[in-house]
Amino acid sequence: MVSENRPALRVDVRRPQRADARRNFDALLGAARDAFAAKGVSASLEDIARQAGVGIGTLYRNFPTRQDLLNAVYFGEIEELCIAAEEAASLPPWEALTAWLQRFVGYAATKRAIWESLNRETDSFQAAREAMYAAGTPLFVRAQEAGEARADVSFDDLLRMVSGLTAAGYVDQAQRDRVLAIALNGVRAH
Amino acid sequence: MVSENRPALRVDVRRPQRADARRNFDALLGAARDAFAAKGVSASLEDIARQAGVGIGTLYRNFPTRQDLLNAVYFGEIEELCIAAEEAASLPPWEALTAWLQRFVGYAATKRAIWESLNRETDSFQAAREAMYAAGTPLFVRAQEAGEARADVSFDDLLRMVSGLTAAGYVDQAQRDRVLAIALNGVRAH
DNA sequence: ACTATAGCGGAGGGGTGCCTCCGGTACCAA
DNA sequence: TTGGTACCGGAGGCACCCCTCCGCTATAGT
């Protein structure tokens, strides 16, 4: 029932009609996601097109500006994040929160890259952020009401903390999880 | 007595002899520090030269490659950080650690930018990192031995955590301090 | 099978940054 | 003051990326 009420978060980019065109569209989105995560916002669009196995012209037909491509990747991630929040709702309070934050970690790598060019608040970006906050806040409030999370910490503080931790460089995956656990320990009510 | 023993951390770049040349050298370093912090590693070298009020040729004479300039800025920051550690040594254990980490926050903004291009381990970079760790570890160990910091956390974990938190985007300075405090609370022994 | 057309892709012009090179400038020593 | 020279600085060649344009291709409907 929740998923039906979730606002659609539609972008003005629409998926093409023909089968081959849809394949290219999806390949471009995938390549863009990888490239932005790996090289930041300044990733070469020609590289992305090459990686997707299409011509540069095809990229520009689907995404007229760099910002359009960035938006498409970004909104896709946000949408998945909202769905993850719904799925986590069935877990116990603290586990639900940390499970969702784990998913956020995967998203934050992309977000960081996009933030670089999106920090002036576009209204579409604003809407996406609100959708994400709407999805995550209940999890956090529930953990607070259960006495598991500190009451004097805001959800915004928490998200920015996790977002920052994710963007840092680590020796391996294990260290990242360890560091995240240390920081989350600071959020826990004792 | 500590400062006499600290290894010199010299870079192969040397300050020119003539007075006007030294002025230019210093102006370039300052402009580079600002530019790398503001725009990341990909800041335009021509912008840096312009900002420093010198020609592009002068930049290249002092720093033949982009990496040389990056190194010069980086090693300068590291050196200051080592000095800050010595100064902090006179404070009580936990205060000394957090004071130094506060200083690290200022340095991390630069470091993040440099990390992007320096993640393959140059030996000179390795040396700088070791110098920094040598400076900070005693502060951390002292806090652990005083029972103020968790014994099951490593100094490397701590530094990467703070480094990541620093690089994140915040609404204002107050939020950054708040978030840092939350995360450090996770390091504290209760 | 056939055709109308949605969709493809890369050549190419414009822009920007990197780095070299060398004629000119200004410092410093005598 | 004057000469020797360390140093300056920007013009210019190169490489890369952005984005447009248009002749060609593959698809989907009949």
pLDDT value at residue A4: 45
Which residues of A fall within a CB distance of 8 Å from B156? 171, 175
Q: How far is A16 from chain B (nearest CA, A)?
A: 35
Query: Residue A22 is encoded by which pair of tokens?
Result: 């849809």
pLDDT value at residue A117: 66
Go through B141-162 and write b for each residue having 16 or more CB atoms within 10 A of its CB, e for each that does not.
Answer: ebbbeeebbbeebebebbbbbb
Give the bases of strand C that a protein CB approaches within 7 Å.
6-12, 16-22, 26-28
- Model confidence over B88-99: pLDDT tens digits? 999 999 999 999
Contacts of B71 (CB under 8 A, 6+ apart): B11, B13, B124, B125
pLDDT value at residue B22: 95
Q: Is the pLDDT of residue A168 over 80?
A: yes
Among the listed ranges B5-14, B28-37, B111-120, which one has the minimum average pLDDT value?
Answer: B5-14
Using alpha carbons only, what angle is made at residue B133 by residues B128 and B139, rounded to the nearest 5 degrees? 145
Query: Residue A113 is encoded by which pair of tokens?
Result: 């890259």
Say if CB A149 and CB B150 are below 8 A apart: no
Verify whether the Cβ–Cβ distance A169 to B42 is below 8 Å: no
pLDDT value at residue A3: 44
Sign, CA dihedral B14-B11-B40-B182, equals negative
Q: Which nucleotide is the nearest neighbour of B46, by CA and C1'? A: C17
> Bigger pLDDT: B144 or B42?
B144
HSE, side-chain direction, 13 A CA sphere, residue B97: 25
Which candidate from A163, A175, A186 shows the least CB-CB separation from B184? A186
- Model confidence over A51-103: pLDDT tens digits? 999 999 999 999 999 999 998 998 888 889 999 999 999 999 999 999 999 99
Mean per-residue pLDDT of chain A: 88
| Residue that the structure tokens 């991630």 belong to | A77
In this prediction, residues A2-22 reach a mean pLDDT of: 66
> In Å, how far are A2, A76, A177 from A89, measured between CA atoms?
11, 21, 22
Verify whether the Cβ–Cβ distance A183 to B178 is below 8 Å: no
Which residues of B fall within a CB distance of 8 Å from A104? none
- Model confidence over A122-148: pLDDT tens digits? 777 788 889 999 999 999 999 999 999
Which candidate from A153, A175, A179 shows the least CB-CB separation from B182? A153
pLDDT value at residue B101: 94
SS3 category, A147: coil
Q: Which of A161, A180, A184 to probe the B interface (max B CBs under 10 A)?
A: A161
Verify whether the Cβ–Cβ distance A184 to B186 is below 8 Å: yes
Verify whether the Cβ–Cβ distance B115 to A169 is below 8 Å: yes
Verify whether the Cβ–Cβ distance A161 to B167 is below 8 Å: no
Amino acid type, A23:
R
Q: How confident is the model at residue A118 (pLDDT cuts 50, 70, 90)?
A: low
- Model confidence over B25-54: pLDDT tens digits? 999 999 999 999 888 888 999 999 999 999
CA–CA dist A25, A65 (Å, integer): 15
Sign, CA dihedral B99-B104-B105-B106, equals positive
Mean per-residue pLDDT of chain B: 88
Which candidate from A161, A175, A178 shows the least CB-CB separation from B183? A161
Cβ-based contacts under 8 A for chains A and B: 88
Q: Round and report the angstrom distance from CA (A33) to C1' (D26).
A: 28
H-assigned helices in chain A: 2-5, 19-39, 45-52, 56-62, 66-88, 93-118, 123-145, 155-167, 173-185
